Structures are given as C-alpha cells and as structure tokens.
Chains A and B, each alone.
Chain A
Amino acid sequence: MVNTMNDNKKMPAGNLARYVPAILFLAFVFGMAIWFLFAPKKDYSSSEKRYLQEFPDTSVDSIASGGFGTDFESFFADHFPGRNMWVGFNSYYNLAIGNNGADGVYNCSDDYLINKPVSETENYIERNMGVISEFKKKTGKPMTVLLAPSTGYVASDVLPLIHNKYNDNKYIDSAITTFAESGIDFVDLREPFKNAYEIGNQIYYKTDHHWTTRGAFIAYTELCNRLGLEPASEEKFVKEAHDGFYGTTYSTSGFWFTPPDEIEIWKDPKLTAQVKITEGGNTSDFDSLYFYDHLEEDDKYPVFIDGNHALTEIINNNAKGGTAVVIKDSFSHSIAPFLAENYKKLILVDLRYFKNSVSDLVKNENPDQLLCIYGIDNLATDTDLAWLQ
C-alpha cells in the first residue's frame, strides 16, 4: 500500500501566492452562495416573460419523490445572483469563440439581432398551407394571404459572413402555386420590402422579430391594392415614437449591449375604434387600439391591440368596408390599426389560443373577406394551424 499523500509535501515550498487559485475558488464559490442566500428573490423575469420557480415544497412526499431536488435546482438557477449578467456573458463568450450568435439569433451588423432561418427538418409550411387551402374551400369565402418575409431574407446585407440560408424564396414560390390552385389571393411582399429596405427604410425591428410600423404600413398598402381597397395615405397619420424597445431577439440572445429600438405609433386622429378582446369566454371592451401601459415594459410590441389574445374584434363604424375575419399571428397586431381604416369589423383569430371552430365563427359572422396574416417563420413552425377547421 502506497501512501501517495506524502508526495504532496515534496512540492516546492514557495511563497503563499501559490495558494491563490484555491483562495480565488473558495472566495467565488462561497461568495456566490452567500450572495444567493441574501439576495432578494424576484417572482418574475421580465426578459423571459415567465414566473420564476418558487421555493419548492418541503413536504415528505415531495422530498421522497425527488421532486424537491429537481425543483430546488430550478429555484437555485432561477434566482442565481446576477442571472441576466451571466446569460449575457455566455452569449458574448459564444460570439467570441466563433459562433455568429447565440440561442438561435445571429448577431448582425448595424445592431440587428436576427433569428436564424427556421430549420428544414422541423418545418410544417407545406402542411400549414394545405390547411389554409382546405379552410378556404370549406368556407367558400374570398381569401387573401399575406406573409411577412423573414428579417434575414430582407436585411440580408447585415447578416454575419457565415449564416444559414433563408429559404423565403422557396416558401413563397411554393405558396404562390399552392394558393393559386385553391383560388386564394396571395400578396407577395418580397419586392416591395426589398425595395423599401434598400432606400433606407427600417422594415423590421433590430431587436425583435416583427415588422416595424413602417413595414406594416407597406404591407397594408400592398394588401389594399390587391383587395381593390383604397389604402389610407401616410399623411393621414400622426406619428409618435417611443424609445427603449427591447424585443424578442434581444431577450432570447442575451446580447445586452445592443441598443434598443424605437417603436412608432401611427395614429389617425379621426379614427374612433372599439376593441373587444375575448379570452377564455370573457370579453372586455376598450376604446383605443393602443395599450400604452405596455410602453412601460421592455417589450413594447403589445402596445398594438394588447398583444396576443384568442379573439380580438375591432369595430370602426365609419369605415366603408364590411367584415373581415383574420387568421393571424402577432404580425397582424401592428397592421390591424391600418386595416381598421377600411373595415367596419375586423375579427382577429389567433389559433395558438382560439380552440373553437373557426368555420362556425365564419358562418355566424358571414364576413365579406377572409385574411390570413403571418410571419413566414411562424407559419413554418406553427403547430396550431391544424386547429383551423
């Protein structure tokens, strides 16, 4: 039997400095542990938009089942001191070692944070287009589809040198064919967006995946032209800009040094609209399209019609047009105020949350027009459109 421990004593005796790594380690580990103990615990993480893990249940059952152990790990991680600072550190570290971004977001020039292209393997775009076509056939109503191209496709000049291909051309070409076969009108935004972007317009937010109000307005104009409606002119609107908008690609990526966006609200002073929001069987009425409370938050996009809801109705009795049912994701929120110029009643249905029959809704409301407004990336990854029946 060898007592290997004696070997340690033979190490050269130098100054005490040789213990510095150990002292540093202990200081760090104990320091963070003590900081964790005394730091105030938050219940909500605004950059993640989720409630954090509470201190786990200490009942015998919970401990015996191992639930306590698992929950405690989440609790510990969720309330770890300087959590967001660490997340940012990790993102910039990843950038430094050669990755072009972090957590599915490219760190681009001109302060853009852009979602990577959707994966080709978990891609439901063909299926979802099929579902839309089926729905159009079933209801027999005129339908127009508007898809927002991805930011990376339009703002391709800011992408990092090494980046995956944005397949918008493939998807949109396929959409044109599929929808033409089913008699669905399709608004191709590729050219208008690329042209507007090239002459210096900001079509998309830099820290968020949505289109800007400018982008939404261009899309609105194109849509009206296709529908044969008269689009409201830009002069009609009073524009206000709000600073400090940190959107989804900002909070996902953790590139905290990216400057915020400005969010613009284009308000028509003459337009008076009622908004009815239905969620879980309860309907609430509002008399504005804009929910200014959300401007207090980092993510200000929900300022438009209060963000995601199962069913949102917008009523403008002074409009010339009739009723439109909009099958949509959140890209529709900033275009909806423009569409309210043209329709007396807009009914926005979000299939991620609306689980009733949309056919029944269409039967009851008997709209003049069906619209489908999605960001192309969302359409490719959405698994809830199957509910459209």
Chain B
Amino acid sequence: MVFSSLVFMFAYLPLTLLIYYIVPRKGRNIFLFFINLVFYGWGEPKLVFLMLFNILFNYLGGFLVDKFRQDEKKKKLFLILTCILDIGILAVFKYTGMITETLNMLPFLNIPELQISLPIGISFYTFQTMSYVIDVYRDDAPVSKNFINFGTYVALFPQLIAGPIVRYRDVAYQLTHRRESLEQFTKGVKLFLVGMGKKVLIANQMGILADSLLAENARSGVLGTWVGIIAYTFQIYFDFSGYSDMACGLGNMLGFEFLKNFDYPYISKSITEFWRRWHISLSTWFKEYVYIPLGGNRKGVKRQIINLLIVWGLTGLWHGASYNFILWGLYYGLLLILEKFVLKRFLDKLPPALQHVYTMFIVIIGWGLFYFTDISQLGAFVTNLFNFGNGLCSNTALNMILSYLPLLVAAAVASTPVGAKLYNQIKDRSWAWAPETVYCAAVLLISTASMVNQSYNPFLYFRF
C-alpha cells in the first residue's frame, strides 16, 4: 500500500486512527503491530512471514548480545551472526538477479536466472533492525524486552516502505512512553499534507515531464534533455522528501516523532553540504555503522579515501541492484574526496551563486546516472546533453516545457526554504489556522482528484 492511494487515505488510515484511539494505551502497540502487518502484506501477504522472521531473529540477536554483555567473544559472535543473516536476506531478495547476471558474463557459467521480486521496504527495515543490534552491542540503545514493541518499531507503517530509516535508539523511549496530543496530531496532519502536496502536486507532474523528455527516442534536443533531467531532479526530491514528510506526519498522528530526513538539499553550496541535507537518515546510518567502524579518518589519509570509496560504493548499491547505482555512489565518493582534499579551498573563495551552480550541476548529472539503469542509454543521454545533433529543442519538447513551466517554477521555489520562512512569520499568529486550513483543503481536494483520476480509464472501442 502507498500513502497516495485511495485505499490508504480513505479506508486504512481512518480505520487505523479510529481503532488506535479507541484502544487503551496499553493495547496500542499490539494494535499497531497487527495493523502494520496488514499494511505490509496488503499487496503480497506472504511477505508478512519474511517480516515476522526478520523481527524475530533480530529480536533474538539483540537479546543474545545483551545476555552475553560480559563475554566479549560471544557478544561479538551473535552480533556478526545477526548482521550476516540481515545482509544475507537483503542480498538474496535484492541482489540475486544482479549477481547471477554478473556471474553469467563468465563464459563457462550459465546459472539459471531466478525471478525474485523485491519485497517492498526491505532495504529500509533491514537497516533499521541492524541499527538496533549494533546499538545494543555498543550499548548505545537498551535491549528491547518486549517482542511486540520491537515488532511495532520494525514494521511501523509510516516509515516502513520508504523511510526515513529510524534508529531504535531514537524511538525506544517513545515506543513505551509516548503521549499523543491534539497538538501533535494537528502538526502531523499538516506535515502529512505538505508531503502529499509535494508528491501529488509536484513530483508526479515532474515525472510526466521528465519521462516524456528523456524517453529513448524522444529527440528532445539539448535544452529538452536538460529540462528533462532537471524535471527528474525535482521529481526525485519532491517524491522522496514528500514521502518522508508523510511518514513523519503519520508518525505524529500516532504520537511518534521521527528525525528530519531532508533539509532543502538543493540549496547546498557544496557536495559535502548536499549530503548533509539529502536523505539524512541514510547518510547517518552509513557514517555510524560503516564509515566509523572502518576507521573513518583516524587511520591516515590513504585509509580514509578507501573508507570513503567503500561507503559510497555501498550507498550506491543500496539504492538499487544495478551497476549504474554503484557508479552513482562512486561518483559522489570521488567528488566528496576531491572536495575534502582539493576543491574546498577554491570553492570557499567563489561567490555563493557559483558554488550553488557548481553543486547543482554535479547533482543534476548525478541524477542522470541514477535515472538510466541501462549503460548505453546513459551514454546516449550524456551525448544529448551537449550534442546539438538533435537541435536545441524539438517542437514537441518545447510544447511540453511550456505547458509545465508554471510547475517548474513552483518546484524551484518549493526547493528553497522561502515557503518555510514565510510560514514561520505567521505560524504563531492567532489567525494562522486560516491559511493552514486553506492549504490543507486544497491539497486534500487536488490529491483526491488526482488519485481518483488514475482509476478513470474510458474504454473507447466498446462494443455493445
């Protein structure tokens, strides 16, 4: 189930909220545990077993690590076993296809290709459960004494399928002590609708624009290709951060607080800054659970560079089972190393506008690597960015761009904190509820219309 669907908005959510608030506080986690599984298994119920298994062995792993707290060796052994199982499951379900395809490139191998469909959210919840066991091992988080509470955390539907990656330690206290309030609920509603607006009003539309301009044989011309990838740049940000906002908002409605996942990444003035603002929960995860354990920057420059490349190669791979994602990760790894050791001094002297142009240029090209999973299409795309063989802009591309120009401008403005700054000016006024309500009503109406429209499929060649 996804948030921007009618079934979620008008069946699952009202039912969940209704029962959640009727059930006495003690029973709320049990109810959440159950309803999370319904959410997760909605499209493919057998995945519920995978989820339960995941919850079970990580719970057990945490328990054993805690039990042998005094025995360094055993403690480490149980940590490693749990992590191997976590990564193993992720590898089987996510990377089998990629691995067999790679091995089959060897002339003497011919492994039959297994069709394993990717269980939704597996990359997110695997990282969550690993953070738990590692934190227990490091004594950064208390061991969970209650299976239901732990399961509620792992499968919590707001952040289950697209993050943010919530660390156990950040919600451990909330799991047992949260106190829902109308204040927090209202905040959650507003945040949810901000996210819904990002997703439905901007991201979906930008997706249409990007796909049509970047289609394999679109021949959009240089300008058309640039606008195409810029539209994709907007799409991916508004889609992803919109989903995070919806997750945080839903969390609020249930009394949880999650950490911010995006902080206006497109206003960054360097790649280093960009990665401090983009998908914060993921970069934090890699920093804490991979980069620092590898030695971080404490073992000399050479080792630091290797560590950075490992972390960024893995970050890329995490995004998808395809080589272009590794390429995308390494691209950022290299640029970050370059910035850290060479470019930083020069960048700081540039006027801020140029720093911003530099950053966005790299980010936009980066999304090209991300968009094209096929390497030859990627090559064609890079050529199209600079080669005027297809002209500056085809007629069709120009029409498309002009039709979406108002939204492109809106997306650019919405990528900056301007809106938030304006809102902060008014939010404490006694009449702030009025513009808030107007905004909420508009997003609700337009999103509902858009969701209904997706199901409207006139059949033209009907026969009586």
Q: Flag if B455 contacts A74 (CB, 8 Å).
A: yes
A336 and B450 alpha carbons, distance in the complex (Å): 41
Interface string of A1-13 (1 = CB under 8 A from B): 1011101110110
Q: B405 contacts the other chain (Cβ, under 8 Å)? A: yes
If A25-B193, A25-B444, A254-B456 touch, whether A33 touches B10 (CB-CB below 8 Å) is yes
Expressed in whole angstroms, the minimum distance between the Cβ of B5 and any Cβ of chain A is: 7
- Cβ-neighbour of A162 out of B1, B188, B399 (below 8 A): B399
Q: Flag if A50 contacts B11 (CB, 8 Å).
A: no
Interface residues of B in 29-72 (CB under 8 A from A): 41-46
Q: Flag if A251 contacts B458 (CB, 8 Å).
A: yes
Q: Could you count the A-B residue pairs with CB atoms below 8 Å apart for me: how many are there?
A: 199
A18 and B42 alpha carbons, distance in the complex (Å): 35
If A20-B436, A29-B10, A66-B45 touch, whether A8 touches B453 (CB-CB below 8 Å) is no
Q: Flag if B458 contacts A248 (CB, 8 Å).
A: yes
Q: A307 contacts the other chain (Cβ, under 8 Å)? A: yes
Q: Flag if B43 contacts A70 (CB, 8 Å).
A: yes
Q: Flag if B255 contacts A66 (CB, 8 Å).
A: no
- Cβ-neighbour of A352 out of B257, B459, B461 (below 8 A): B461
- Cβ-neighbour of A49 out of B173, B430, B458 (below 8 A): B458
Q: Flag if B10 contacts A308 (CB, 8 Å).
A: no
Q: B391 contacts the other chain (Cβ, under 8 Å)? A: no
Interfacial chain B residues near A26, Cβ < 8 Å: 14, 17, 189
Expressed in whole angstroms, the minimum distance between the Cβ of A373 and any Cβ of chain B is: 16
Q: In the complex, which residue of chain B has the Cβ closest to the Cβ of A6?
A: B179
Q: In the complex, which residue of chain B has the Cβ closest to the Cβ of A163?
A: B399
Q: B4 contacts the other chain (Cβ, under 8 Å)? A: no
- Cβ-neighbour of A121 out of B172, B217, B403 (below 8 A): B217
A15 and B430 alpha carbons, distance in the complex (Å): 7
Q: Flag if B460 contacts A248 (CB, 8 Å).
A: yes
Interface residues of B in 448-464 (CB under 8 A from A): 448-464
Interfacial chain B residues near A353, Cβ < 8 Å: 463
Interfacial chain B residues near A19, Cβ < 8 Å: 182, 186, 433
Q: In the complex, which residue of chain A has the Cβ closest to the Cβ of B141?
A: A1
Q: In the complex, which residue of chain B has the Cβ closest to the Cβ of A248?
A: B460
User: For chain A, what secondary structure do more than half of its interface residues adopt (helix, strand, loop), or is it mixed?
Assistant: helix
Q: Assuming A21-B437, A90-B452, A294-B464, what are 14 further A-B pairs, CB within 8 angstroms?
A: A4-B257, A20-B433, A21-B186, A26-B14, A32-B10, A50-B457, A64-B46, A72-B7, A90-B453, A91-B453, A121-B215, A248-B458, A308-B462, A353-B463
- Cβ-neighbour of A21 out of B10, B190, B459 (below 8 A): B190
Expressed in whole angstroms, the minimum distance between the Cβ of A53 and any Cβ of chain B is: 9
Interface string of A84-100 (1 = CB under 8 A from B): 00110111010001111
Q: A309 contacts the other chain (Cβ, under 8 Å)? A: yes
A294 and B14 alpha carbons, distance in the complex (Å): 42
Interfacial chain A residues near B433, Cβ < 8 Å: 17-21
Q: Flag if B436 contacts A89 (CB, 8 Å).
A: no
- Cβ-neighbour of B6 out of A9, A77, A352 (below 8 A): A77
Q: A389 contacts the other chain (Cβ, under 8 Å)? A: no
Q: Flag if A77 contacts B455 (CB, 8 Å).
A: yes
Q: B445 contacts the other chain (Cβ, under 8 Å)? A: yes
A73 and B428 alpha carbons, distance in the complex (Å): 40
Q: Flag if B174 contacts A5 (CB, 8 Å).
A: yes
Q: Flag if A50 contacts B10 (CB, 8 Å).
A: no
Expressed in whole angstroms, the minimum distance between the Cβ of B246 and any Cβ of chain A is: 13
Q: In the complex, which residue of chain A has the Cβ closest to the Cβ of B406?
A: A98
Q: B304 contacts the other chain (Cβ, under 8 Å)? A: no
- Cβ-neighbour of A48 out of B9, B404, B459 (below 8 A): B459
Interfacial chain A residues near B406, Cβ < 8 Å: 97-98
Q: B187 contacts the other chain (Cβ, under 8 Å)? A: yes
Expressed in whole angstroms, the minimum distance between the Cβ of B366 and any Cβ of chain A is: 27
Interfacial chain A residues near B402, Cβ < 8 Å: 98, 162
A1 and B255 alpha carbons, distance in the complex (Å): 17
Q: Flag if A36 contacts B7 (CB, 8 Å).
A: no
Expressed in whole angstroms, the minimum distance between the Cβ of A75 and any Cβ of chain B is: 9
Residues of B with Cβ closer than 8 Å to A? Answer: 1, 5-7, 9-11, 13-15, 17-18, 41-46, 169, 172-174, 177-179, 181-190, 192-193, 205, 215, 217-218, 255, 257, 395-396, 399, 402-407, 428, 430-434, 436-437, 440-441, 444-446, 448-464
Q: Flag if B403 contacts A87 (CB, 8 Å).
A: no
If A25-B440, A77-B6 touch, whether A33 touches B460 (CB-CB below 8 Å) is no
Q: A177 contacts the other chain (Cβ, under 8 Å)? A: no
Q: In the complex, which residue of chain A has the Cβ closest to the Cβ of B201?
A: A97
Interfacial chain A residues near B46, Cβ < 8 Å: 64, 66
Interfacial chain B residues near A169, Cβ < 8 Å: none
Expressed in whole angstroms, the minimum distance between the Cβ of B191 and any Cβ of chain A is: 11
- Cβ-neighbour of B189 out of A21, A99, A121, A164 (below 8 A): A21
Q: Flag if A22 contacts B189 (CB, 8 Å).
A: yes
A252 and B434 alpha carbons, distance in the complex (Å): 36
Q: Flag if A307 contacts B464 (CB, 8 Å).
A: yes
- Cβ-neighbour of B430 out of A5, A11, A14, A120 (below 8 A): A14
Expressed in whole angstroms, the minimum distance between the Cβ of A67 and any Cβ of chain B is: 10
Q: A78 contacts the other chain (Cβ, under 8 Å)? A: yes
If A3-B173, A308-B463 touch, whether A66 touches B44 (CB-CB below 8 Å) is yes
Q: Flag if B453 contacts A86 (CB, 8 Å).
A: yes
Q: A153 contacts the other chain (Cβ, under 8 Å)? A: no
Q: Flag if A69 contacts B257 (CB, 8 Å).
A: no
Q: Flag if B440 contacts A98 (CB, 8 Å).
A: no
Q: Flag if B399 contacts A86 (CB, 8 Å).
A: no
Report 27 cross-chain contacts, Cβ distance below 8 Å, ordered by A residue: A9-B181, A11-B187, A19-B186, A20-B437, A21-B440, A22-B182, A25-B444, A30-B14, A32-B448, A66-B41, A66-B42, A69-B44, A73-B5, A77-B6, A77-B451, A80-B6, A80-B455, A83-B452, A89-B445, A93-B449, A98-B407, A120-B396, A162-B403, A163-B399, A254-B456, A294-B464, A307-B464
